[in-house]
Amino acid sequence: MKQCNMYKFNDIKLGMSESFEATITEEKVDEFRKITEDINPLHNDIEYAKQKGYINKVVFGMLTASFLSTLAGVYLPGKYSLIHSVEILFKKAVYINDSPLTIVGTVTEINKDFKQFTMKVSIFNNKKEKVCRGIMKVGVTDEK
Amino acid sequence: MKQCNMYKFNDIKLGMSESFEATITEEKVDEFRKITEDINPLHNDIEYAKQKGYINKVVFGMLTASFLSTLAGVYLPGKYSLIHSVEILFKKAVYINDSPLTIVGTVTEINKDFKQFTMKVSIFNNKKEKVCRGIMKVGVTDEK
C-alpha cells in the first residue's frame, strides 16, 4: 500500500499535481451501503437503474468522492493534510466496471496566511471520461 | 432500516426539511479506510492525532460527508434522488464518541427547468455542535 507523501506547506507549488488509481468493487459498494444505510435502489437494483436509463447499478457518487480523502490524506499533501472543504460536481454515472478510476489533483491557489491550498480535482473512469470534477481546500499542518 | 421516502418533484417545497441520526463506529472508520486506502495517521494513530492538538483519532471528513448520500437517497427526496453536486465545509473535528451525528437538510431553492432542488445541509455531533455545513443540488427523477 502507498505510504503517505509528506509534503510540507513550503513544498506546495502552483501547478503541482498528484494522481492515483482507485478500484471500486461490488464489495466496496456493499460496504458503503452498510456504513451509510443509503438503500436507494439506484445503487442496488439493476432493474430499477435500467428503468432510469442506466446500463447497470450506479456507484454511489459519495463513494467515488470518498477517494478525495485519499488524494489529500495520502498524496497531496499527504501526511500533514487537513481537509477544510470539498466541492464535487457529478458529471457522469460511474459503474463498477468503469474501475479503476483515476483521481487527479492540481494546486491552483496557495494561501500563506491560512497555510491552506486549493486544488482542482478530477476523477476519470477507465475510458478516460471525466466522471467528477471539484475543488478542495486543504490545510497543511506540518508546523503543529 | 428506514425505507426510502418517495417525494416527487412536485412534493418538494421551499423550507421542507428532513433529518436523521447516523452512527459512526470504529468499524465504520476501519471499513472506510479499507475502501479508500486513506492511511493518513490522523484517523489511525491516537498519538499522532494528539500531537496535532486533537483529543482522539479524527473521523475521516469524507466519512461524515458520506451520510449526505443517505440524506438525499433515503430522506429528501428519497427514492427518486440523483445527486448533482455537493459542497461541504468541515467546521469541527468529529470523533467516534461524538456519535450519533444528526444530519439535517432543508430545501432552499427549486429549479423547475432542471427538476432540481438545492438544499442546505448541516451535520451536528451529539453535543449539538455543527461539525459540517454544506449545499447539495439534487435532481428528482420521478418522471423517467
Q: Chain B partners of A62 at a C-beta cutoff of 8 Å?
A: 62, 65-66, 68-69, 83, 86
Mean pLDDT to the nearest integer, A19-25: 97
Which cell numbers in the block locate residue A81? 493534510
In a domain, B6, yes or no: no
Shortest CB distance from B37 goes to which of A70, A79, A88? A70
Give the contacts of A80 (CB within 8 A, at least 6 positions apart): A6, A7, A8, A9, A140, A141, A142
Task: Give mean pLDDT, residues A63-78.
Answer: 98
Per-residue model confidence as pLDDT tens digits over B31-85: 999 999 999 999 999 999 999 999 999 999 999 999 999 999 999 999 999 999 9
**Has residue A56 been placed in a domain?**
yes
What the block records as the C-alpha cell of A32 is: 458503503
Q: A82 lies in which domain range?
A: 9-140
Taking an 8 Å cut-off on Cβ atoms, the answer to whether B36 and A88 are in contact is no
Q: Does B62 touch chain A (CB under 8 A)?
A: yes
* Count of Cβ atoms closer than 10 Å to residue B42 Cβ: 23
In a domain, A1, yes or no: no
Residue A97: per-residue pLDDT: 86
- β-bridge pairing B17-22 and B101-111: antiparallel
The answer to the question of residue B128 being in a domain is yes
Q: Rounded distance, CA B112 to CA A39, Å?
A: 26
Question: In angstroms, what CA-CA distances link B79 with B56, B69, B71?
Answer: 37, 12, 11
Whether B7 maps to a domain, the answer reads: no
| pLDDT recorded at residue A144 | 55
Torsion B68-B70-B76-B80 (CA) sign? positive
Q: Mean pLDDT across the stretch B116-122?
A: 98
Is residue A127 situated within a structural domain? yes
pLDDT of residue B143: 76
Which residue of A3, A68, A90 is in closest CB contact with B85?
A90
Q: Would A105 be classed as within a structural domain?
A: yes
What is the number of structural domains in chain A? 1
Can you give the pLDDT at residue B97? 86
Peptide bond connecting A41 to the previous residue in cis, omega within 30 degrees of 0 = no
CA dihedral B127, B128, B131, B137 (to 10 degrees): 150
Residue B1 has pLDDT above 80, yes or no: no
- Residue-wise pLDDT tens digits, A108-137: 999 999 999 999 999 999 999 999 999 999
Q: What is the CATH number of the domain that holds B133?
A: 3.10.129.10
A60:B43 CB<8 A: no
The answer to whether position B68 is within a domain reads yes
